[in-house]
Copies of this chain bind each other. A is one copy, B any other.
Amino acid sequence: MSRKVAILGASGYTGAELVRIIATHPTMDIVGLSGERKAGMAMAEVFPHLAPLGLPRLTKIEDMRFDEVELVFCALPHATSQAVISTLPRTLRIIDLSADFRLRDPASYATWYGKAHAAPELQAEAVYGLTEFYRNDIEAARLVAGTGCNAAAGIYGIRPLLEAKVIDPDRIVIDLKAGVSGAGRTLRENLLHAELSEGTHPYAVGGTHRHLGEFDQEFAKVAGRPVQVQFTPHLTPMNRGVLASIYVDGDPVAVHAALSQRYDLEFFIHVLPFGAVPSTRHVRGSNYVHIGVVGDRMPGRAVVMVVLDNLTKGSSGQAVQNANLMLGAEETAGLTLPPVFP
């Protein structure tokens, strides 16, 4: 049976990626697409690669009919999301891909996003969308908050280690390499091909990146006390992909065992053999996560390396995985597309 969904904010990269994934989904149909500035346009004009799919035309949200829609993917900009979602029918189930509902604590939200939340009651209701850790809550949720793509990579690598108490929570360094689609379809000089290709640089250094709010929230929860990590993202000349190189103090074998055990039954998460290293190329375009663990020559030090595709498992693939849970479909439905290499 076909389940009808709509995508708000379909003219950005996560919107396009939702369309790409749902196009081969066995039981999900897109019946509405919104795009404020591009309302009235065909998706083929906004994203010519989607031309063959016979998609509905972009509309304004106010003109969208939600009668038949069961679930809405909300791929709107940060801050816009909270305003829009407040106005949607309560009967709709919603997966928000923005940052608006990731943090439970209003004070934390205000700290990281610089102003008070406009819909704190929704914030309280939302479930953090990292499927492998909140599966039951997501199934039952009305509103699911898609995670940050960098946050997902870090949490996949660290949370099981805190749970298993095999690392020192005060000595965690996350050095992250991010592909440029993570910055969205944003017009900025440093995202131009001429400026971004052929080089790399750190950004949001010194504990200022907003995904730290997610790390703080999720790690404190499992550690039972505040945990602060060092986190430095770097912009890398690749379109898709996140590689988190996580430096921890702990026995490397115990670290590998904790991750292997935690993800043993997870379809999308592959822990590589001890000593093997992952590559973003091997998950590009797919919903898979690869995790490698290596021991340092210094005893008691390990590196955990996590790769995922920021547009797929880091946002739109994760969203479809959660939608599957919410709609009672097979969790992996539509998500078994293999990676694209080369």
The 8 Å CB contact of A238, one of B51, B199, B206, is B199
Interface-lining segment among A82-90, A154-162, A272-280? A272-280
Given known pairs A173-B173, A206-B303, A236-B236, the reply for A47 and B341 (CB within 8 Å) is: yes
Chain B residues positioned under 8 Å from A336 (CB to CB):
23-24
A294 at the interface (CB under 8 A from B): yes
Chain B residues near A16: list those with CB within 8 A.
341
In the complex, the answer to whether A238 meets B277 with C-beta atoms within 8 Å is no
A283-342 with Cβ < 8 A to chain B: 283-286, 288, 290, 292, 294-298, 301, 303, 305, 307, 336-342
Q: A19–B341 Cα gap in the complex (Å)?
A: 11
* A206 engages B239 (CB within 8 Å): no
CB of B206 within 8 A of CB of A194, answer no
Residues on the B chain within 8 Å of A20, using CB: 338-341
With A49-B283, A297-B207 known as contacts, the answer to whether A187 contacts B187 (CB < 8 A) is yes
Chain B residues, CB < 8 A from A181: 194, 342
Complex copy number for this chain? 4
Q: Which residues of B contact A50 (CB under 8 A)?
A: 338-339
B341 A230 Cβ-Cβ under 8 A: no
> A194-B239, A232-B303, A234-B243 in contact; A339/B199 too (CB < 8 A)?
no
Q: Does A247 interact with chain B (Cβ within 8 Å)?
A: yes
How many angstroms from the CA of A200 to the CA of B307 in the assembled complex?
A: 9
Most buried by B among A20, A208, A278, A342: A342
Name the residue of chain B whose CB is nearest to the CB of A247.
B173
Would you list which residues of chain A between 161 and 186 have a CB under 8 Å from chain B?
171, 173, 175, 177, 180-181, 185
- A binding-site residues for B, Cβ under 8 Å: 13, 16, 19-20, 23-24, 47-53, 171, 173, 175, 177, 180-181, 185, 187-189, 191-203, 205-208, 212, 228, 230, 232, 234, 236-241, 243, 245, 247, 270, 275, 277-286, 288, 290, 292, 294-298, 301, 303, 305, 307, 336-342
Known: A173-B247, A180-B192. 14 other contacts (CB 8 A): A16-B341, A20-B339, A47-B341, A49-B286, A180-B194, A185-B192, A193-B197, A197-B197, A197-B239, A198-B281, A206-B295, A206-B297, A230-B298, A234-B243
